[in-house]
Structure 1
Amino acid sequence: MVLEILFWLVKTFSYFGIFLVGFIATSTILFPFPIDLATFFTPAFGLHPFLVSLAVGTGAAFGELTGYYLGVGGGTIKIVKKSRLTKFFVKFFEKAGFLTILITAFIPFPFDIIGILAGISKYDVRKFLIATGIGKIFKALVIAYAGYFLVPYIALFIGRI
């Protein structure tokens, strides 16, 4: 059902549809969404994998702002502010925040946690968005090109069954 809606968005709105898929999929906090599967099959709709990766990666980066701002709001709670863990992550994001965000946005990892921690740490939202965007775009690039090259073979294989 969810995949049908995602594919409908792509078929109906083309690149803007895959942007929406990226945004919707990552704006749901700690709720898994099949964004990678949608990205993999999108080139089968005749969309260019490079442009797909730009659209879905950008949408995903903006969607991750929900976790970031949840962290900003949660960081104002007195208990969270004074926590040793919060102080640790504030220092950590000052030293290696950009690289950490970029790498975790690329790998299959529950990225919502990083967004929330970055928000609690009051990490610069522009840096967060840029690092997240770069990581998500490169991840989508790998997945979209894999789909572009593999979907025809998958279709042939399924046709033989």
Structure 2
Amino acid sequence: MTNKEKIVSFVKSTTFKRVTFFVGIILLIVTGLVAISPEPFLKFGYPGVFVMSAMGGTSLLLIPLASHFNIYLLAFAGASGMAINDSIAWIIGNSGKMIVKRPAKLKRIEHSIEKYGMIAIFFWSLIPFPYDIIGLVAGYAGLPYIRYVIPTFLGKFIRFILIGLGMLSFIY
């Protein structure tokens, strides 16, 4: 069994699904706790934001922290972690086998990635929606990793700055 086949097999396994579900629930609970009372999380600083971002979505996490941290460093930490998190989907897609079925919408995404490349990736990363599918398709379509991760990071960075500035303008 090749490494690519091992990755696909692992991602399809029940163990992977259970672990990711469990981790997702924990991250959701932690994000909710931070939203209610961010003070205990503040001691972890930017590295804490990075780690939480690398483990899962953090758009909601950044909102309560925006008034406690430098917004640009907060966005950098969050975007860096999210770029690492989103890279997992690219790796799985690049393994050569799609884990999900390819309906017409998926084929349209693949076509737009092939046509517009980094520009399409950048604009999709600005939008808060399940971005993993973009990583899967970009990897499957053979988009080089560097051409995937840079616009992913930049889009998340800009999105997090906008979220943070919006939150600050709401508070002050």
TM-score range, shorter chain: 0.7 to 0.9
How many residue pairs end up in the alignment?
139
Gaps in structure 2 of 5+ consecutive residues:
1-28
1:15 correspondence with 2:46? yes
50, 53, 59: which is aligned to 2:75? 53
Distance 1:131 1:143 in 2: 18
- Preserved contact between residue 86 and residue 121 of structure 1 (Cα < 8 Å): no
Structure 2 counterpart SS, 1:123: coil
Gaps in structure 1 of 5+ consecutive residues:
27-34, 153-161
1:2 correspondence with 2:30? yes
Listed one character per residue, the Cα deviations across residues 24-62 of structure 1 (whole Å, up to 9, x for unaligned) are 114xxxxxxxx2221111123x21111111110111111
- Preserved contact between residue 90 and residue 122 of structure 1 (Cα < 8 Å): no
- Preserved contact between residue 89 and residue 121 of structure 1 (Cα < 8 Å): no
- Preserved contact between residue 102 and residue 132 of structure 1 (Cα < 8 Å): yes
The alignment yields a C-alpha RMSD, in angstroms, of 2.8
Q: Identify which of structures 1 and 2 has the higher relative contact order when contacts are C-alpha pairs closer than 8 Å and 6+ apart.
A: 1
Structure 1 residues 85, 58: CA separation in 2 closer, same or farther (over 3 Å shift)? same
Distance 2:142 2:85 in 1: 18
Scaled by the length of structure 2, the TM-score of the pair is 0.68
Deviation at 1:85, TM superposition (A): 8.9
Identity %: 23
